[in-house]
Amino acid sequence: MARPPNADGQRTRQAILDAALALFADKGYFGTSLRDVAGAVGVRESALYNYFPGKEALFEALLEADSALKSEQLSVLFDTPTLDSRQLLERLAEFTLERFMQPRQQQLFRILMSDGMRLAREGRINLLERMGSSRQELQDLMQRLVDEGFLRDEDPELLVMQFFGPLLFWRQLQAAGATTAVVRDRRTFVRAHIDHFLHGAAVQGEGVPVGARRTTEPAIS
Q: 137-167: per-residue pLDDT in tens? A: 889 899 999 998 899 899 999 999 999 999 9
Q: Is residue 84 part of a domain?
A: yes
Query: For residue 74, how far is the Cα from the chain centroid?
Result: 11
Q: Domain span at residue 149?
A: 56-199
Q: How far apart are CA 31 and CA 117, in angstroms?
A: 15
| 42 part of a folded domain | no
Distance CA 146, CA 140 (A): 10
Q: How far apart are CA 81 and CA 71, in angstroms?
A: 18
Does the pLDDT at position 5 exceed 50? no
- Alpha carbons within 13 angstroms on the beta-carbon side of residue 148 total 12
Q: Is residue 200 a contact partner of residue 111, using CB atoms and an 8 Å limit?
A: no
pLDDT at 204: 54
* Structural domains in the chain (count): 1
Task: Identify whether 136 is part of a domain.
Answer: yes
**CA end-to-end span of the chain, whole Å?**
90
> If you average pLDDT over residues 34-47, what whole number do you get?
95
CATH code where residue 71 lies? 1.10.357
- State pLDDT tens for residues 50-89: 999 999 999 989 988 888 888 888 887 777 777 788 999 9
216 lies in a domain? no
Q: Is residue 221 part of a domain?
A: no
pLDDT (0 to 100) of residue 179? 93
pTM of full prediction above 0.85: no
